[in-house]
């Protein structure tokens, strides 16, 4: 699959997050800073900057907002519970490893709330990393959050600044932004082998689906074999057994994104089996409609229902049943207390 097209899916993720803040579903003090950087540097990255920029702030339908909200909230819940359980009990602290992090702002929030014992590593394609790196280095607030010295001198000309940046890792004591194509298993293996052993939460939020079956199998196996104490949270689309999955595939094909695994691991059961066959022996999974109803307190569900009118409840259910969240745990016991589908 074309790397540039896969990378551009992050613009969708950013615009969905932006739409959530605009509609008060979530607050995200880091997002305006990321958005400013993206708006500034996108013109050096794409052949159609006007269209890409317009899409970043395009309003989203209520059903899309609800879907994005539960996606973001559920991963936030997992991160919080992981930090709450392991931060103090692990003498060497913990690590959050975000695969295909794109423009995600969570790292900034995690580092702000946890001044010590929590390390965050974000991985994405080298060009995406350069993009985020430019955004961080150009922004005093974000640089401060990650603990990188802010250099005023570097900002006289945006274009000069951007083109002068290389694709190397951005690294501070508690944060790493790592350029890597996750399909390059040998590189990933050598990267992981240099990390110390500590409880590690790996996040794959809408990333694994861009790999084909063999690539995703290689990635999952490498994670399983090279991380000793891990919890892997994967959020992915799920093709399902009806026509919906085929419509999803057709729409994505129009964008040159042929997501073949969507139909191969199209049910919770098959997705579960896929993970177990890699060697993850504790796997929990559910689709996002159940997660919306089981994980959020009633007052929060009421709050988001009041934000904007949604009469397509059946449409929301259909949509959310076509996305799943799985948690695979090995080498540690994660007492998250969250309800998953026990019939899988």
Ligand X SMILES: C[S@@+](CC[C@H](N)C(=O)[O-])C[C@H]1O[C@@H](n2cnc3c(N)ncnc32)[C@H](O)[C@@H]1O
- Residues near ligand X (CB under 6 A): 6-7, 9-10, 13, 100-102, 104, 124-125, 128, 181-183, 205-207, 210
Exposure of 117 by Cβ count < 10 A (0-12 exposed, 13-18 middle, 19+ buried)?
A: middle
Residue 166, both tokens: 């290389």
Answer for the pair 327, 283: CB distance below 8 angstroms, yes or no: yes
CA-CA distance, 123 to 337, in Å (whole number)? 28
> Taking the complex as a whole, how short is the minimal distance between the CB of residue 1 and ligand X, in angstroms?
8
Q: Does 138 count as an annotated binding residue?
A: no
**Residue 182 assigned as binding residue:** yes
What's the min distance (Å) between Cβ of 254 and ligand X? 16
CB of 120 to ligand X, least distance (A): 13
Whose Cβ is closer to ligand X: residue 210's or residue 334's? 210
Write down the least CB distance from residue 31 to ligand X, Å.
11
Q: Which among 165, 281, 166 has a CA at the least distance from the CA of 232?
A: 281
**Alpha-carbon separation of residue 45 from 120, 127, 163, 214, 240 (angstroms):** 26, 9, 10, 30, 35
Q: Which is nearer to ligand X, 170 or 344 (CB)?
A: 170
- Cβ 8 to ligand X shortest distance, Å: 8
Q: Which is nearer to ligand X, 6 or 288 (CB)?
A: 6
Q: Residue 117 carries which DSSP code?
A: S
Q: What are phi and psi of 330, to 5 degrees?
A: -150, 145
The residue of the chain with the least Cβ separation from ligand X equals 100
Distance CA 344, CA 103 (A): 33
181 annotated ligand-binding residue: yes
Cβ closest to ligand X, residue 107 vs residue 304: 107
Annotated ligand binding at 100? The verdict is yes
Q: Which residues are annotated as a binding site for S-adenosyl-L-methionine?
A: 71, 100, 181-182, 205
């Amino acid at each position: 699959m074309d790397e540039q097209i896969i990378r551009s899916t992050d613009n969708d993720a950013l615009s969905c997050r932006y739409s959530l803040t605009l509609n008060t579903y979530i607050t995200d003090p880091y997002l305006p800073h990321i958005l400013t950087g993206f708006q500034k540097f996108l013109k050096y990255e794409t052949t159609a900057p006007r269209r890409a920029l317009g899409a970043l702030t395009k309003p989203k339908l209520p059903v899309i907002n609800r879907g994005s909200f539960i996606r973001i909230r559920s991963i936030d819940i997992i991160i919080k519970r992981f930090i709450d359980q392991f931060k103090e009990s692990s003498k060497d602290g913990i690590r959050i490893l975000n695969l295909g992090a794109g423009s995600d702002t969570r790292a900034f929030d995690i580092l702000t709330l946890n001044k010590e014992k929590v390390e965050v590593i974000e991985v994405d394609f080298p060009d995406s990393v350069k993009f985020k790196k430019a955004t961080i280095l150009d922004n005093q607030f974000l640089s401060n959050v990650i603990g990188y010295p802010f250099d005023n001198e570097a900002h006289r000309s945006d274009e000069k600044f951007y083109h002068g940046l290389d694709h190397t890792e951005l690294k501070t004591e508690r944060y790493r932004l790592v350029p890597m194509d996750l399909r390059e298993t040998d590189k990933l293996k050598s990267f992981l082998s240099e990390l110390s052993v500590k409880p590690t939460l790996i996040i794959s939020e809408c990333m694994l689906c861009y790999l084909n079956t063999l690539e995703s199998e290689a990635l999952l196996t490498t994670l399983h074999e090279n991380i000793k104490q891990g919890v892997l949270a994967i959020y992915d689309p799920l093709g399902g057994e009806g026509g919906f999955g085929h419509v999803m595939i057709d729409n994505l094909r129009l964008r040159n994104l042929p997501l073949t695994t969507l139909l191969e691991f199209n049910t919770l059961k098959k997705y579960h089996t896929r993970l177990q066959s890699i060697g993850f022996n504790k796997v929990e999974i559910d689709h996002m409609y159940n997660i919306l109803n089981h994980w959020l307190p009633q007052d929060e569900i009421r709050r988001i229902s009041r934000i904007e009118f949604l009469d397509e409840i059946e449409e929301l259910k259909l949509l959310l049943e076509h996305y799943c969240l799985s948690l695979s745990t090995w080498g540690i016991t994660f007492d998250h207390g969250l309800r998953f589908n026990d019939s899988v």
